[in-house]
């Protein structure tokens, strides 16, 4: 049993496994070299030869407990024939949503478009370096995917949720889109598991945008469908409802195996209120400062969760400015903590 599975299934507290969101990527010089000759991000995610190499780069450097496939949550809109591209200093840019096209897409067509992702997972899962480590597949949560598909860009570039979503689309249209998104997210999850993913993480990056009155309809119920589906395939599921106002209620309603917390919540309060295994929490910006501060903050999390099943991670992804030596230091610090 892998260290992460021991924490999830056996509720082990004697270890704190470690991996990082965005651990394969822009902070690594070897990744930046690959990126220079592969400027199209979507094509890079669909390159079954290079993607496994990128996924394994951090494991070649650091003693991490999991590989997370180098991909993106927007591969699903891409698979649904919505144009997706990434622009420098802007982020994702999506084409117009053609409802008729999306509702008519066939499963085989979707699978074929994303086949290189699944082949890459298969390659990574069979690599010697991932022995006794987890291979993590992932999806965006239905609400977050809906936001990107309808807003057509990152909400951090400003969003009026009513103007972009609730006033623009009829309720029946939103329900049809959401139903289709859930259907294909399930397919994407199953395909990742069938090819060797031993854990699934669901990223609800924009959960914090929604009014609490709408949580049940757009966050809880759709996510429950994905969580129950993943569990039915005998694979644990981690949820990251970033900036959600009540993690305790989310856990009680959605029932993931693990919840990843963001850096704006009090870890002590989380430890006291939430019974399931916890992941993450540390502010990625702390990795940009001095080592003494990093050590103090990391040990604080390790002490708070010393008697609680805990997977060390961040409250968001590794920032591009992060020094790989800092990651190496942090991994060793966590591994040596008693």
Query: Which domains does the chain possess?
Result: 3-336 (3.20.20.210)
Task: Give the model's pLDDT for residue 123.
Answer: 98
- CA 257, CA 237: separation in Å to the nearest integer? 5
CA atoms of 63 and 31, how far apart (whole Å): 18
Its pTM surpasses 0.85: yes
Q: How confident is the model at residue 163, as a pLDDT?
A: 80
Parts of the chain with a pLDDT under 70 = 157-158
Place of tokens 């993480």: 201
Which tens digits make up the pLDDT trace of 167-215? 888 899 999 999 999 999 999 999 999 999 999 999 999 999 998 999 9
Query: CA 170 → CA 67, 151, 175, 188, 291, distances in Å?
Result: 41, 15, 9, 27, 52
* 18-65 residue pLDDT tens: 999 999 999 999 999 999 999 999 999 999 999 999 999 999 999 999
Alpha-carbon span 263 to 266, nearest angstrom? 8
Q: Residue 157 has what pLDDT?
A: 60
Q: Is 60 exposed, middle or buried (0-12, 13-18, 19+ CB in 10 A)?
A: exposed
Sheet holding 258-261, edge to edge: 66-68, 134-140, 199-204, 237-241, 258-261, 278-280, 310-311
Give every CB contact of residue 74 below 8 A, 6+ residues apart in sequence: 84, 92, 94, 140, 145, 148
State how far the alpha carbon of 215 is from the alpha carbons of 138, 161, 162, 202, 204, in Å: 21, 14, 15, 16, 12
> Pairing state of beta strands 91-94 and 84-87?
antiparallel
DSSP per position, 291-332: HHHHHHHHHHHHHHTTTS-EEB-BSSPPPTT--HHHHHHHHH
Tally of CB atoms within 10 A around 65: 23
């Amino acid at each position: 049993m892998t260290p992460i599975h021991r924490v999830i299934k056996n509720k082990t507290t004697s270890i704190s496994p470690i991996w990082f969101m965005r651990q394969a990527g822009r902070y690594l010089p070897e990744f930046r070299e690959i990126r220079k000759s592969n400027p199209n991000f979507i094509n890079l995610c669909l390159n079954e030869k290079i993607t496994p190499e990128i996924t394994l780069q951090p494991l070649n450097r650091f003693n991490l407990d999991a590989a997370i496939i180098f991909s993106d949550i927007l591969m699903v809109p891409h698979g649904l024939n919505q144009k997706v591209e990434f622009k420098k200093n802007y982020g994702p840019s999506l084409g117009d949503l053609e409802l008729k096209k999306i509702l008519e897409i066939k499963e085989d067509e979707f699978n074929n478009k994303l086949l290189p992702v699944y082949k890459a997972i298969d390659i990574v899962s069979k690599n010697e370096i991932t022995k006794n480590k987890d291979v993590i597949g992932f999806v965006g949560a239905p609400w977050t995917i809906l936001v990107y598909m309808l807003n057509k860009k990152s909400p951090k570039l400003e969003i009026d949720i009513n103007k972009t979503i609730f006033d623009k689309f009829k309720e029946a249209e939103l329900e049809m889109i959401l139903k289709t998104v859930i259907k294909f997210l399930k397919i994407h999850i199953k395909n990742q598991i069938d090819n060797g993913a031993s854990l699934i993480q669901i990223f609800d990056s924009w959960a914090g945008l929604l009014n609490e009155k709408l949580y049940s309809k757009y966050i809880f119920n759709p996510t429950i469908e994905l969580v129950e589906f993943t569990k039915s395939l005998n694979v644990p599921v981690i949820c990251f409802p970033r900036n959600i106002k009540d993690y305790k209620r989310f856990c009680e309603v959605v029932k993931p195996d693990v919840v990843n917390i963001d850096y704006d919540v009090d870890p002590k309060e989380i430890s006291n209120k939430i019974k399931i295994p916890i992941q993450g929490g540390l502010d990625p910006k702390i990795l940009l400062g001095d080592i003494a501060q990093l050590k103090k903050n990391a040990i604080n999390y390790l002490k708070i969760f010393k008697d609680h099943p805990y997977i060390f991670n961040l409250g968001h992804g590794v920032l591009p400015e992060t020094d790989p030596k800092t990651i190496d230091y942090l991994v060793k610090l966590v591994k040596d903590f008693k």
